[in-house]
Amino acid sequence: MRDIFDAELKQLGDDLEAMSSRVEQAVTNAGRALLTADLTLAESVIADDLAIDALERDLDERCVRLLAQQQPVATDLRVVVSALRMSASLERMGDLARHVAQVTRARYPEVAVPAGLEETFTQMQDAAVRVARRVTTLLGTRDLALAESIEQDDDLLDELHSDTFAAMLGGEWEHGPQATVDVTLLSRYYERFGDHGVSVARRIVYLVTGATAEALDPAAVRGS
């Protein structure tokens, strides 16, 4: 019985890792499409989000089945409940990558990122990809040092998010309302992406160390 349960828990971990790997691919492609106005790539990110949604449903069904059949307690129970929440966060990260792709598609053949903000969005993109990649690795290895660097990249995303607002509101913004709307949304998508990455990372830290993270929803704390 214990062997079966361990195998199922292992499968749960593998599924989360696979889901995170898909999210990593999604955000990598979404950002590349955004910065180069690549319509085909943007379309593929939008289409592939359905696969991430399906992975979430499968994973959730597996969790519920596991709860029903194995009746886990203590740490095992926390692992399963955490998996439910981590899959929800990963699904949202996939949605956010899709939202970036949707802005790209709406603005095609123009590049949605206005002149002067290419560098800022390139940095946001790089930070978001690092977050996703480290979440994948953290899920696989439970190397908690990665959690710390995820937090740092999330801080960087918050800073860059502020930078885009400063650029729009500093009095030298020469773009029209469409660019303002796009930058506002894109910047928020990246900022939220970081929040969800941190949320997953903190859940893993909590599972491994049993320590209560100050709060599991960084957005709730930061008021962003």
- Cβ distance to its own copies smaller for residue 109 or 223: 223
Hey, is 58 helix, strand or coil? helix
50 near Zn ion (CB under 5 A): no
Token pair, residue 13, equals: 């971990």
Peptide bond into 114 cis (omega under 30): no
Q: Which residue has the tokens 């979440």?
A: 135
Our CB check for its own copies shows the closer of 145 and 215 to be 215
- What's phi and psi for 216, nearest 5 deg? -90, -10
Candidate residues 51, 169, 208, 211; the one interacting with its own copies per rule CB under 8 A? 169
Taken as a whole, the chain contains a residue count of 224
Stretch that binds Zn ion, among 11-19, 157-165, 188-196, 214-222 (CB under 5 A): 214-222
Closest distance to its own copies from the beta carbon of 185 (Å):
6
For residue 171, give both structure tokens. Answer: 């009095």
Q: What six digits make up the tokens of 219?
A: 């957005």
Q: How far apart are CA 203 and CA 210, in angstroms?
A: 10
| Residue 213 lies near its own copies (rule: CB under 8 A) | no
Give me the long-range contacts of 217-223 (CB less than 8 A, separation at least 24). Answer: 218/154, 219/192, 219/195, 222/158, 222/195
Whether the ω angle into residue 177 lies within 30 degrees of 0, i.e. cis, is no
Single out the residue of 53, 155, 159, 163 in contact with Zn ion (rule: CB under 5 A): 53
Q: Which listed residue (18, 37, 39, 77) binds its own copies by CB under 8 A?
A: 77
Among 35, 39, 88, 207, binds its own copies (CB under 8 A): 88
125's contact among Zn ion, its own copies, none, with CB below 5 to 8 A by partner kind, is none
Q: How far is the CB of 207 from its own copies (least distance, A)?
A: 13
Contacts with its own copies, residue ranges (CB under 8 A): 46, 49, 53, 63-64, 67-68, 71, 73-74, 77-78, 81, 84-85, 88, 91, 95, 98, 102, 165, 168-169, 173, 177-178, 180-181, 184-185, 188, 215, 217, 219-220, 223
